């Protein structure tokens, strides 16, 4: 049990560090490890809904701390946050409410996670256009 405890704490450190330095929640690293490693220590495997919940809590804690640090550094465009925040919150809530109603939830969640992880990795190889001098924010028509 102690070995699993040490492993989970180490995962928290890695996930938090990735969130702080790269701006990601760490779930892309944590989810596969949380699915595969507990059985190596003789513990029952975690199911995908449990792993999704753990990575959400890790992401909430890590990205909240990182967001505060980035705000203090002046690297947060709050106008974009206002535009995206409502959409992110609403769609996250909808996803969380719909997830338990998905048949074969374990396979669907694992499949979606795998597809999104491959997509995210693929997008990292695409060369971005030269950035403009300042981030472009949506303009209000009101």
For every residue of the chain, which 3-state class applies, written as one string?
Answer: CHHHHHHHHHHHHHHHHHHHHHCCCCHHHHHHHHHHCHHHHCCCCCCHHHHHHHHHHHHHHHHHHHHHHHHHHCCCCHHHHHHHHHHHHHHHHHHHHHHHHCCCHHHHHHHHHHHHHHHHHHHCCCCCCCCCCCCCCCCCCC
Amino acid 139: pLDDT:
56
pTM over 0.85: no
Where in the chain are the domains? 2-77+107-120
Note the pLDDT tens digit of each residue in 107-133.
Answer: 888 888 889 888 888 887 887 777 666
Q: State the pLDDT confidence band at 58, using cuts at 50, 70 and 90.
A: confident
Note the pLDDT tens digit of each residue in 9-50.
Answer: 887 787 777 766 776 656 777 888 888 888 887 888 888 888
């Amino acid at each position: 049990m102690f070995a699993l405890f040490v492993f989970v704490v180490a995962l928290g450190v890695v996930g938090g560090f990735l969130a702080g330095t790269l701006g990601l929640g760490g779930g892309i690293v944590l989810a596969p490890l949380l699915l595969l490693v507990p059985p190596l220590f003789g513990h029952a495997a975690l199911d995908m809904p449990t792993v999704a919940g753990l990575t959400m809590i890790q992401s909430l804690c890590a990205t909240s701390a990182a967001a505060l640090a980035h705000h203090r550094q002046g690297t947060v465009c709050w106008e974009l946050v206002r535009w995206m925040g409502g959409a992110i919150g609403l769609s996250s809530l909808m996803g969380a409410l719909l997830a338990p109603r998905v048949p074969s939830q374990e396979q669907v969640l694992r499949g979606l996670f795998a597809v999104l992880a491959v997509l995210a990795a693929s997008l990292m190889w695409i060369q971005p256009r030269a950035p403009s001098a300042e981030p472009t924010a949506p303009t209000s028509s009101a």
